[in-house]
Structure 1
């Protein structure tokens, strides 16, 4: 599989899978939780609150790990392992882009001062479980 094919498969998985796990580092140990992800190219975004443990953890250590794409059908489901760095983004434009009414469960609208967006810049993306030629790493 060449790099263009890997990139296309990665983008397909990012387009079709919104729920994944985000692992941060808490006191030197991994701390994982399910999150909803959006993407622009290879950059990932997920809404969060400034008042969460993950916000504190990212302030202390911006290194994160994301698992995204597993369908749960069994052996052979393609998925991504993404290592990267995260930062809190408070851009109104980005909040507008990712806002969904279901977020009202946690926020008082897209102008809630506690709403922020985790912006994740991958340093490594590995395509897993996609035939005999994987795992393979996308050149970033």
Structure 2
């Protein structure tokens, strides 16, 4: 598949799947956890979290992250994405307004909660995995 077709396929997977794993680096070792992701047209990913979490500390020390998203758990043939990139911590009003939803009230008092931050993840490579005999396929970013 050409790069534009691959990009569209990646967008569909991201549209259909919001939960994936985010791995950061802690003491030179991977540290993974499930997160909820949103994305924009440029395939930049966003995930809310607290500034009091290990992941915030880890990203401040080392911004490189790895995300796996899209796997449905049905076994062989489940397409998924492996995304490597760099994360940046944001807490500005614009990003909070964009990402906030009422479900977040489980963790934050409001979109103005001082602990609410958003990880903005800029992909460097996105690999489509397990989709066909031609995979993995890599999107050039």
Per the normalisation by structure 2, the TM-score is: 0.97
Cα displacement (A) at 1:101: 1.1
Q: Give the distance between the partners of 1:101 and 1:132, measured in 2 at CA.
A: 42
Name the count of aligned residue pairs: 140
SS at match of 2:23: strand
Partner secondary structure for residue 45 of structure 2: strand
Give the Cα–Cα distance (whole angstroms) in 2 for the partners of residues 96 and 71 of structure 1.
30
Deviation at 1:91, TM superposition (A): 1.7
Q: Secondary structure of 1:13's match?
A: helix
Gaps of at least 5 residues in structure 1 are none
Deviation at 1:71, TM superposition (A): 1.0
Other-structure match for 1:73: 74
1:39 has 2:35 as partner: no
1:88-107 equivalences in 2 (<5 Å): 88-107=89-108
Which digits, 9 at most, give the CA deviation of each residue in 1:17-38, with x for residues without a partner? 0000000000100000000000
- Counterpart position of 1:24: 24
The structure 1 segments of at least 4 consecutive aligned residues displaced by more than 3 Å after TM superposition are: none
Give me the whole-angstrom Cα distance separating, in 1, the residues matched to 2:39 and 2:25.
22
Counterparts of 2:130 and 2:83, CA distance in 1: 14
